[in-house]
Each structure stands twice: as structure tokens, then as C-alpha cells.
């Protein structure tokens, strides 16, 4: 039997019901309407009006589970402590567009939502396969989580002379720490793979591929990777620290969108980074071994992966999903199709990327960059969410909205350039706008 995650309702209208997951998946808890029956893995709490329509979101990759609130009215709780809710006065749509803390769950954590007297509670049970084939509650994973920070501090101090200052972020199988060189006091970012995740060959491959790609890409608008560090079977990535935070943070701190001048300066720097990456000579693993190829596709361009240095320089980060487009379909350990894995962020993902994820070419990055520019200028995503049911329905059933419908103040010539790049043709085309061409078109439109 394989690793397994079970979500069981222990209090509320669904008490006693269980949902079981054996592979990578997502799930939503909410008060679902009849027309939402197509939503996959929707835990439907129809009888409790204290639960939002889209309340709580789970990312599941047994034995790992991440939970976050979806901008609900009354919040999501883990073991009685609130982890997220929308701000007072926000509409449900505004709440769903917000950014909320993600929490990695341990076995027997209790997830709650609603209000006193109208509470819904679910217990998450995590079971992991033993080497001998027998199942056990994931005590090994829980112990690794409990001791992770201590181990990371010991590693940083003992092996590479670094002192961990604070956690910058957590992902599904890695965390990023702010560290300081004990001799020079230089601050850097250290990406560490969670101990339990290192037993997964696929995740080890993604981690190593990201380090390999980033160490070969040398450009002022790409985060610098200093070293790939090894300690026994553990490995970590030492990177440039971008003190200005992410582009998502910048938008949030400026009322949700940016002015035309600043947004344009930012996107032009990202397009410079993409133009370089799409033409760079790099070494990549393929089924036949290592090969030198021209160009790498990022495949996950979005505001969260765009960082700001202290001097304001824009930096593209997180090449964990990157792939050499000359090796389309050939790279070893490549990501499975979307039926099994998440392909970047749906909010900034084109239909072409969804259709041809393994064979993605540079145009998918240019499209995502245009979607990011659109977001910076409008504070809105390119598609109407309409409940954002699942990745397929969101992308295929919702057309890109003309940018002037979101922000009529955008110059008409610029709006035409952005709308053209974001146009999704029904028929495949062999031509596309390159990153350099898109930048030049933006600048020409603003003359």
C-alpha cells in the first residue's frame, strides 16, 4: 500500500465522512452551489452558512499536506489557531484574490472553520509506507518536521559557516532561510530541502535541476546562485538575497496594483531576463545523458517568483520547473502531465502551456509575463475567476478579458500590444512574439 492522506469530518454537517488521497491532488472545503458539481474534490458543506463558498484549500502530495485559507469570511483554523481570513469589508471575490499563509500539516492536525455553534472540523491523518511495505502513521515525517529548523541551523553553522536569521518561506518540499556569513556578515538566501522529501527521487531531481540551471544563468535580472552545498546525502542552494521582497508583496503594499511607469520598468527587466534565458547555452540532463542546448523555459512566471533587490533591481527566481525547450519530451525525470502534477500557477498560465506542458516553448513565458504585466497595471487576473473551480475549467472556460475593461486609463496603443500577446488562438501557430519583441513593442507603444 502507498502513502495515504485521509481527511475526516469530526464535527459538523458531514460528521463521519472521509476523503482519501493516494497521490498528488488538491481539495477544497466550502459551501458549494448546485452549479458547482463539476468541481473536483470539493468537500461540500451545504448546510452551514458560516462557511464560505470557497473556504479552505489543500495541496496534497502524500505524505505531505499543505493547507491555506481561500479568503473566507470566518477563517480557517489549524488546531484552534487561525491561519487566514479575508479582511473586514472585503468582498468574497477580493478575498479570493488575496495571498494567505500556507501551513504544512502533521498527522492528526485538526482543521476548523465557521463560527462558535456552527463549527465544521476535520482531522487529517497521514500514513506512510514503511520500507518493509507496512503502513504506519507518519511519525518519521512528523519528527523530521519537528527537528527541521534545529537541523538546518546546525548544518548552516557547522558546514558552511552560516548563521540562520529567519525563515523567508516554506514550500511543499523545501524552505528558504535568510542566512548570514559569520565572517563577512553578508546576507544570503539558503534553500533547504526538507529531510523527509529527500527520499523522493523526483523531488531530488527537481531540486538539483533548479540548482544546475540557476548556476549556469548569469544575468543582472536573474537571482544569482552562489553554490550548491552538500552534506552527506543532503544538498542545499545558496543564493542571492533580495531584500525588497517579491513583486506580489510590492503590489499588496501599493493597493493591489502599480503605476504605469513602475510596472513597465519592472516588466521590461523581466523580459530582458527571459530573452537571455531563452537564448543561453546551458547543459541539461536528457534521456541520452548531458547535452549542451540553447535556451531554457522558466514555465512558472508570476509575481511571487519575481523578486526585488535592495537597489530596486528586478530579479527572476525559482527555476524549479525550468526545462530546455530543445530537449522537449527528453529531459530525465521530467514532470508528469497535469493529471498528476501542478504546472506553475493557473492564474498566469496559458492554454498552450496547459496543452503542451512537456513541450513548452519560450512563448509560454512571454504569455505569462504579459499576464503579470496585466496584473501589475490592473490589480486583476487576466481571466474572470468565476469560482476558479479547477485548473482545467479556469483556463479553458474563461477567456482573457481585454485589459481596458479592467483599467480604462491604460494607453490604447499599449493595451493593443498586451491584448495581442495574450490572445489565445484556437489553431496552433508556428510564430510567436519573443521576449525581446514584446519589450520593444511596449516601449514603442509608450512613445
Residues at the annotated binding site for ATP? 191
Pairing of the two strands 76-78 and 109-113: antiparallel
Rounded Cα distance between 334 and 331, Å, is 6
Cβ contacts of residue 158 below 8 Å, gap of 6+? none
Cβ contacts of residue 286 below 8 Å, gap of 6+? 327, 330, 331, 332
Are 403 and 423 in contact by the 8 Å Cβ rule? The answer is: no
Q: Which three cell numbers stand for residue 399?
A: 477567456
Cβ contacts of residue 136 below 8 Å, gap of 6+? 127, 128, 130
Give the single-character DSSP code of 274: H
- Of all helices (H) and strands (E), which one includes residue 210? helix 201-216
Are 185 and 212 in contact by the 8 Å Cβ rule? The answer is: no
DSSP three-state, residue 27: strand
3-state secondary structure 278-312: CCCEEEEEECCEEEEEECCECCCCCHHHEEECCCC
Residues flagged as binding site: 191
DSSP three-state, residue 407: coil
Which residue shows C-alpha cell 510596472? 263
Other C-beta atoms within 10 Å of 120: how many?
25
Measured between alpha carbons, how far is residue 414 from residues 117, 259, 440 in Å? 53, 14, 11
In order, the DSSP letters of 47-109 are: T-TTS-SS-EEEEEETTEEEEEE-S-SS-EEETTEEEE-PPTT--HHHHHTS----EE--TTE
Q: Which three cell numbers stand for residue 119?
A: 463549527
DSSP three-state, residue 227: strand
* Opening angle at CA 298, ends 293 and 284, nearest 5: 30
Amino acid at each position: 500500500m502507498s502513502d495515504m492522506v485521509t481527511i475526516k469530518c469530526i464535527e459538523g454537517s458531514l460528521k463521519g465522512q472521509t476523503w482519501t488521497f493516494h497521490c498528488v491532488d488538491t481539495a477544497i472545503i466550502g459551501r458549494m452551489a448546485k452549479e458547482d458539481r463539476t468541481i473536483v474534490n470539493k468537500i461540500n458543506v451545504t448546510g452551514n452558512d458560516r462557511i464560505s463558498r470557497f473556504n479552505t484549500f489543500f495541496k496534497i502530495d502524500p505524505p505531505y499536506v499543505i493547507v491555506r485559507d481561500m479568503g473566507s469570511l470566518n477563517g480557517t483554523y489549524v488546531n484552534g489557531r487561525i491561519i487566514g481570513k479575508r479582511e473586514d469589508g472585503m468582498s468574497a471575490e477580493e478575498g479570493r484574490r488575496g495571498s494567505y499563509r500556507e501551513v504544512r500539516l502533521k498527522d492528526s492536525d485538526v482543521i476548523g472553520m465557521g463560527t462558535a455553534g456552527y463549527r465544521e472540523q476535520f482531522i487529517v491523518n497521514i500514513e506512510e509506507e514503511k520500507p518493509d511495505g507496512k503502513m504506519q502513521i507518519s511519525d518519521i515525517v512528523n519528527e523530521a518536521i519537528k527537528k527541521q529548523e534545529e537541523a538546518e541551523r546546525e548544518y548552516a553553522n557547522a558546514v558552511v559557516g552560516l548563521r540562520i536569521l529567519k525563515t523567508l518561506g516554506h514550500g511543499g518540499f523545501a524552505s528558504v532561510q535568510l542566512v548570514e556569513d559569520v565572517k563577512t556578515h553578508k546576507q544570503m538566501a539558503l534553500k533547504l530541502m526538507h529531510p523527509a522529501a529527500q527520499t523522493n527521487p523526483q523531488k531530488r531531481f527537481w531540486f538539483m535541476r533548479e540548482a544546475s540551471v540557476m548556476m549556469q544563468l548569469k544575468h543582472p535580472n536573474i537571482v544569482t546562485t552562489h553554490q550548491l552545498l552538500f552534506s552527506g546525502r543532503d544538498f542545499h542552494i545558496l543564493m542571492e538575497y533580495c531584500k525588497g521582497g517579491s513583486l506580489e508583496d510590492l503590489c499588496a503594499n501599493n493597493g493591489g496594483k502599480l503605476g504605469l511607469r513602475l510596472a513597465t520598468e519592472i516588466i521590461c527587466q523581466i523580459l530582458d531576463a527571459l530573452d537571455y534565458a531563452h537564448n543561453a547555452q546551458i547543459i541539461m540532463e536528457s534521456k541520452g545523458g548531458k547535452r549542451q542546448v540553447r535556451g531554457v523555459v522558466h514555465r512558472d512566471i508570476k509575481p511571487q517568483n519575481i523578486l526585488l533587490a535592495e537597489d530596486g533591481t528586478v530579479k527572476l527566481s525559482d527555476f524549479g520547473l525550468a526545462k530546455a525547450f530543445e530537449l522537449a519530451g527528453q529531459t530525465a525525470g521530467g514532470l508528469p502531465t497535469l493529471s498528476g502534477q501542478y504546472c506553475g500557477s493557473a492564474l498566469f498560465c496559458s492554454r498552450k502551456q496547459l496543452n503542451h506542458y512537456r513541450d513548452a516553448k519560450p512563448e509560454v513565458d512571454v504569455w505569462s509575463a504579459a499576464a503579470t504585466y496585466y496584473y501589475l497595471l490592473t490589480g486583476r487576473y487576466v481571466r474572470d475567476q468565476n469560482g476558479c473551480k479547477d485548473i482545467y475549467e479556469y483556463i479553458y472556460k474563461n477567456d482573457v478579458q481585454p485589459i481596458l475593461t479592467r483599467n480604462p486609463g491604460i494607453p490604447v496603443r499599449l493595451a493593443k500590444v498586451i491584448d495581442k500577446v495574450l490572445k489565445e488562438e484556437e489553431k496552433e501557430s508556428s510564430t510567436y512574439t519573443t521576449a525581446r519583441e514584446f519589450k520593444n513593442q511596449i516601449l514603442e507603444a509608450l512613445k
